[in-house]
């Protein structure tokens, strides 16, 4: 049976009469639009938007939001258009409905692409009006409450998406009760057996510990009363998924998780919070290292409280949260409290500012990430709840995800600082850029005008903003360098086909662009450099194919070593100037250079059309990596002598590893050399060391 319409008393208590009328009108419109549609459970479809509106009415959201909630599926599931909604209910309502609607009418290659694109659209709408996500969270909450009707595979997919994305968005936005319910419901559908076992264990523990919990609560109330502190004190049970997560992280059994109960103390103002903390530390001993001051250092979602863990009676650890009434409202309602509690301006404005900053950082990722799935990866990282607090040299506090590095810090300060980052001082000491930051660190980034993002940074940065900017820079550089390589490959093909360069005019390029669908000449050249097109095919198409096949072999392509990311030197054989080399065009990567005798090339079947004749430039100044292996007698000081000879020969050690036992040790070096002659010079110097038994160059 369908649910009753929103009772007038539910909304008339806080909505203006005209807004209440619009909500009732929206209900009638939605009921008519969804007439004849049913949910998988068999209920009339109108029961779903009605339930979503009820959830939002509990949060005391405004009339436009309730109207949009009742209409949120009409654009997606019926023939109703955005223009119709705008005419009937106003443009703001139409925009809200459009922001919540999925992109089902667009075909995507994979479910992941569709999911990512939906989030992109939703977050764009959310940035202009945060009510979009409040409707979406209420929508998801009701869907999760009624998920039992779904097929098991779809149930698990929706539950995982909820756990990874929606629950974390609710957490980031300070919607604590929704966050916890979404996590528990996701847990129930992802791991139904574990959920049932945990539920029974919690009920049993609740009965066993009822007396202890009651005694602790009485003691807290009595001690606060004796100290003259007016407070609302409640006991609370931690939600199931948080207990399960704690067991996983700390590798505990359920019986070892003691603090499944916590206590909350709500007082009138901030000074009383700290006074109550002192009183409770006098009642029970605090557990060292388990105190967190989220009043002085609020979480990024605006959450504020004092957290302390104490040794309770019978050795039971207990967790206590102490906060003001305003903090409690914000902790429970998050950004929705903008509509619920309009009096608490200071805290709310700060919370909304932080929410806006977070949305803006997501939009930066959205703007620079061309790949929807890559954006979804950034979103999941930025939703990760664990945080650290670090300081700039001027004392400004920055909140970063746990595990963040100085490069993440640099990009969070400013994009230009991240891109020009050279080195870092942490607490006054020079440290590597990959050093994980810790709570309380003071971080000073040293920059240089010539510095630029390093591809190696992607191995350790964790924030979406840093990864997006680094990848954007690398893609831009790769495209520029690939276009330059593509131009050289095209010119080489034209010479082989005896096509004069002056014969290829703008008209021929325009005709080629039109026939291939490419946007510009630069795109064609980039595709050649990245191996997506063959230079000889492009050259023929430029002159309509009216050319003879090339006579003889074209001149070798000269490798200068300065081509950047467009040319890659294979790790399997590490070619250096002086080695005979071959070039292979690999789709999406560009030109890969191997030595003639590379074992990997011998084993693989290479398309002759993608094989290029290449040779080294006669004047190359850069250094190249090469691997050598030494077998040495296990004598004191031998490594120092080897390192000294390498340095004396003008080479640099990039990496070193050692293995072996007994009388002999094998040492593997990655060295930097100028060319084959330089390598020979280094190896001759090492052979002169008496304890070096054998030396060889390493190839895969």
Name beta bridge partners: 694: 631
| Lowest model confidence (mean pLDDT) among 337-341, 378-382, 457-461, 667-671 | 337-341
Q: What is the CA radius of gyration of the chain?
A: 33
Domain boundary among 85, 110, 145: 145
* DSSP output for 506-571: HHHHHHHHHHHT-S-HHHHHHHHHTTSS-HHHHHHHHTTT-SPPPPSPPPPEEE-S--GGGEEE-T
* pLDDT band per the 50, 70, 90 thresholds, residue 105: very low
Query: Angle at Cα 555 formed by Cα 552 and Cα 559, nearest 5°?
Result: 150
pLDDT at 461 over 80: yes
pLDDT at 5 over 70: no
Predicted local distance difference test score (pLDDT) of residue 586: 76
Render pLDDT for 626-636 as a digit per residue (tens, 0 to 9): 999 999 998 88
498: in domain: yes
Render pLDDT for 655-666 as a digit per residue (tens, 0 to 9): 888 887 778 889
| 583 and 677 assigned to the same domain | no
pLDDT at 107 over 90: no
pLDDT at 51 over 80: yes
3-class DSSP state of 270: helix
* Mean pLDDT value of segment 385-413: 84
122: in domain: yes
* Strongest mean pLDDT among 83-87, 601-605, 612-616: 83-87
| Domain coverage including residue 643 | 624-697
506: in domain: yes
* Residue 143 and residue 181 in contact, taking contact as beta carbons nearer than 8 Å: no
Distance (Å, whole) CA 106 – CA 33? 22
Of 93, 177, 175, 178, the residue nearest 143 (C-alpha) = 178
223: in domain: no
Give the tokens for residue 661. 């036992």
Q: Who contacts 245 (Cβ-Cβ below 8 Å, separation ≥6)?
A: none
Distance (Å, whole) CA 229 – CA 279? 10
Predicted local distance difference test score (pLDDT) of residue 15: 81
Distance (Å, whole) CA 496 – CA 490? 10
| 573 and 640 assigned to the same domain | no
Predicted local distance difference test score (pLDDT) of residue 115: 63
3 belongs to the catalytic site:
no
Reduced 3-state DSSP string for 224-251: HHHCCCCCEEEEEECCHHHHHHHHHHHC
Predicted local distance difference test score (pLDDT) of residue 551: 54
Q: How far is CA 700 from the centre of its chain?
A: 35
Q: Who contacts 439 (Cβ-Cβ below 8 Å, separation ≥6)?
A: 388, 389, 390
Give the tokens for residue 455. 């591809």
| 14 and 115 assigned to the same domain | yes
* Mean pLDDT value of segment 468-479: 80
**Sign (positive/negative) of CA torsion 672, 676, 682, 683?**
positive
Predicted local distance difference test score (pLDDT) of residue 345: 45
Predicted local distance difference test score (pLDDT) of residue 375: 59
Q: How many helices (H) and strands (E) does the chain have?
A: 28, 19
Residue with tokens 């510095």: 451
DSSP 580: -
| 635 and 607 assigned to the same domain | no
| 78 and 60 assigned to the same domain | yes
Distance (Å, whole) CA 261 – CA 310? 12
Residue with tokens 């607090």: 389
Predicted local distance difference test score (pLDDT) of residue 341: 40
| Lowest model confidence (mean pLDDT) among 80-84, 148-152, 270-274, 314-318 | 314-318
* Mean pLDDT value of segment 380-409: 78
Distance (Å, whole) CA 78 – CA 639? 76
Predicted local distance difference test score (pLDDT) of residue 453: 87
Number of Cβ atoms within 10 Å of the Cβ of 427: 12
Number of Cβ atoms within 10 Å of the Cβ of 311: 13
Give the tokens for residue 589. 């990567």
Distance (Å, whole) CA 446 – CA 430? 10
* Mean pLDDT value of segment 526-537: 75
155: in domain: no
Give the tokens for residue 358. 């977070």
Render pLDDT for 416-453 as a digit per residue (tens, 0 to 9): 899 899 899 999 888 889 899 988 889 999 988 888 88
Distance (Å, whole) CA 34 – CA 44? 8
Predicted local distance difference test score (pLDDT) of residue 678: 93
Alpha helices (H) in 369-459, listed in sequence order:
372-382, 406-413, 415-419
Predicted local distance difference test score (pLDDT) of residue 275: 94
Give the tokens for residue 540. 């023929």
* pLDDT band per the 50, 70, 90 thresholds, residue 215: confident
| 641 and 506 assigned to the same domain | no
* Residue 147 and residue 195 in contact, taking contact as beta carbons nearer than 8 Å: no
Reduced 3-state DSSP string for 58-91: HCCCCHHHHHHHHHCCHHHHCCCCHHHHHHHHCH
* Residue 71 and residue 139 in contact, taking contact as beta carbons nearer than 8 Å: no
Which domain CATH number covers 685?
A: 3.30.70.260
Q: What is the mean pLDDT of the chain?
A: 80
Predicted local distance difference test score (pLDDT) of residue 362: 58
Predicted local distance difference test score (pLDDT) of residue 278: 93
Catalytic residue among 76, 129, 161, 350: 76
DSSP 673: E
Give the tokens for residue 547. 């050319």
Render pLDDT for 478-519 as a digit per residue (tens, 0 to 9): 777 778 878 888 887 787 777 777 777 778 888 888 777 778
680: in domain: yes
597 belongs to the catalytic site:
no
| 586 and 634 assigned to the same domain | no
16: in domain: yes
Residues of the chain above pLDDT 70, percent = 80
| 14 and 55 assigned to the same domain | yes
Q: Is residue 506 exposed (0-12), middle (13-18) or buried (19+ Cβ within 10 Å)?
A: exposed
Buried b (16+ CB within 10 A) or exposed e, 326-342: bbbbbbbbbbbbbbbbe
User: What is the domain count for the chain?
Assistant: 3
Predicted local distance difference test score (pLDDT) of residue 443: 92
pLDDT at 686 over 90: yes
| 587 and 633 assigned to the same domain | no
Which domain CATH number covers 40?
A: 1.10.3210.10
| 29 and 78 assigned to the same domain | yes
Predicted local distance difference test score (pLDDT) of residue 210: 67
* pLDDT band per the 50, 70, 90 thresholds, residue 144: very high
| 599 and 632 assigned to the same domain | no
| Lowest model confidence (mean pLDDT) among 256-265, 266-275, 574-583 | 256-265
Distance (Å, whole) CA 58 – CA 364? 34
pLDDT at 185 over 90: yes
Predicted local distance difference test score (pLDDT) of residue 350: 56
Distance (Å, whole) CA 591 – CA 575? 13
Distance (Å, whole) CA 402 – CA 437? 8
Q: Who contacts 82 (Cβ-Cβ below 8 Å, separation ≥6)?
A: 75, 94, 97, 98
* Mean pLDDT value of segment 468-485: 79
* Mean pLDDT value of segment 526-540: 75
Domain boundary among 121, 145, 169: 145
Distance (Å, whole) CA 256 – CA 261? 13
Give the tokens for residue 484. 């330059």
Domain boundary among 96, 118, 145: 145
DSSP 442: B
Distance (Å, whole) CA 11 – CA 19? 9
Predicted local distance difference test score (pLDDT) of residue 252: 73
Distance (Å, whole) CA 72 – CA 49? 7
Distance (Å, whole) CA 22 – CA 30? 12
pLDDT at 609 over 80: no
Distance (Å, whole) CA 526 – CA 484? 8
| 576 and 690 assigned to the same domain | no
* Mean pLDDT value of segment 269-274: 93
pLDDT at 409 over 90: yes
Predicted local distance difference test score (pLDDT) of residue 364: 59
Q: Note the maximum CA span of the chain.
A: 102
Catalytic residue among 10, 77, 293, 568: 77
**pLDDT: is 492 or 638 the higher one?**
638
Predicted local distance difference test score (pLDDT) of residue 349: 52
* Residue 319 and residue 362 in contact, taking contact as beta carbons nearer than 8 Å: no
3-class DSSP state of 364: helix
Predicted local distance difference test score (pLDDT) of residue 124: 65
652: in domain: yes
């Amino acid at each position: 049976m369908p649910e009753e319409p929103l009772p007038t008393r539910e909304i008339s208590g806080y909505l203006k009469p005209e807004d209440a009328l619009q909500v009732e009108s929206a209900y009638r419109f939605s009921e008519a639009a969804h007439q004849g549609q049913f949910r998988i459970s068999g209920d009339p479809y109108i029961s779903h938007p009605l339930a979503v509106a009820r959830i939002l009415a509990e949060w005391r959201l405004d009339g436009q939001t309730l109207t949009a909630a009742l209409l949120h599926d009409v654009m997606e599931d019926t023939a109703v258009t955005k223009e119709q909604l705008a005419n009937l209910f106003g443009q703001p309502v139409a925009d809200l409905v459009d922001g919540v609607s999925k992109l089902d009418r667009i075909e995507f290659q994979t479910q992941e692409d569709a999911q990512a694109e939906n989030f992109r659209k939703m977050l764009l709408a959310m940035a202009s009006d945060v009510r979009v996500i409040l409707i979406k969270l209420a929508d998801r909450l009701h869907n999760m409450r009624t998920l039992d009707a779904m097929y098991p595979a779809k149930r698990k997919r929706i539950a995982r998406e909820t756990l990874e994305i929606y629950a974390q968005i609710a957490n980031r936005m300070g919607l604590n009760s929704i966050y916890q319910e979404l996590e528990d419901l996701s847990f129930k559908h992802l791991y139904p057996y574990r959920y049932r076992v945990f539920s029974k264990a919690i009920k049993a523990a609740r009965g066993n510990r009822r007396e202890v919990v009651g005694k602790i609560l009485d003691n807290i109330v009595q001690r606060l009363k004796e100290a003259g502190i007016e407070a609302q004190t409640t006991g609370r049970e931690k939600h199931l998924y948080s207990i399960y997560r704690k067991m996983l992280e700390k590798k505990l059994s359920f019986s070892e998780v003691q603090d499944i109960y916590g206590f909350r103390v709500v007082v009138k103002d901030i000074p009383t919070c700290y006074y109550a903390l002192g009183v409770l530390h006098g009642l029970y001993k605090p557990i060292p290292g388990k105190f967190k001051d989220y009043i002085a250092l609020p979480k990024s979602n605006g959450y504020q409280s004092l957290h302390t863990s104490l040794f309770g009676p019978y050795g039971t650890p207990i967790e206590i949260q102490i906060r003001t009434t305003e903090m409690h409202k914000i902790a429970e309602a998050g950004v929705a409290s903008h509509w619920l509690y309009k009096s608490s301006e200071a805290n709310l404005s700060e919370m909304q500012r932080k929410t806006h900053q977070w949305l803006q950082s997501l939009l930066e990722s959205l703007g620079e990430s061309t790949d929807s799935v890559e954006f979804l990866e950034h979103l999941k990282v930025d939703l990760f709840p664990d945080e650290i607090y670090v300081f700039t040299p001027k004392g400004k506090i920055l909140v970063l995800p746990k595990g963040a590095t100085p490069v993440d810090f640099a990009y969070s300060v400013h994009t230009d600082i991240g891109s020009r980052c050279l080195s870092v001082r942490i607490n006054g000491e020079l440290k590597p850029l990959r050093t994980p930051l810790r709570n309380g660190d003071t971080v000073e980034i040293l920059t240089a005008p010539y510095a630029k993002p390093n591809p190696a940074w992607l191995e350790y940065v964790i924030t979406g903003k840093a990864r997006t900017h680094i990848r954007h820079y690398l893609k831009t550089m790769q495209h520029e360098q690939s276009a330059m390589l593509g131009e050289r490959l095209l010119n080489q093909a034209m010479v082989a086909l005896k096509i004069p360069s002056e014969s290829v005019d703008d008209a021929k390029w325009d005709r080629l662009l039109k026939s291939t669908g490419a946007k510009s000449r630069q795109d064609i050249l980039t595709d050649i450099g990245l191996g997506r097109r063959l230079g000889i095919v492009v050259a023929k198409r430029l002159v309509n194919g009216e050319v003879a096949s090339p006579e003889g072999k074209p001149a070798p392509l000269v490798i200068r070593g300065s081509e950047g990311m467009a040319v890659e030197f294979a790790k399997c054989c590490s070619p250096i100037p002086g080695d005979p080399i071959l070039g292979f065009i690999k789709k999406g990567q560009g030109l890969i250079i191997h030595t003639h005798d590379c074992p990997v090339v011998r084993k693989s079947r290479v398309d002759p059309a993608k094989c290029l004749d290449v040779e080294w430039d006669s004047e190359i100044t850069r250094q190249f990596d090469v691997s050598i292996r030494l077998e040495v007698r296990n004598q004191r000081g031998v490594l120092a002598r080897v390192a000294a000879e390498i340095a004396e020969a003008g080479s640099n050690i990039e990496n070193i590893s050692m293995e072996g036992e007994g009388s002999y040790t094998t040492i593997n070096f990655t060295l930097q050399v100028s060319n084959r002659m330089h390598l020979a010079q280094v190896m001759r110097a090492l052979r002169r060391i008496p304890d070096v038994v054998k030396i060889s160059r390493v190839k895969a």
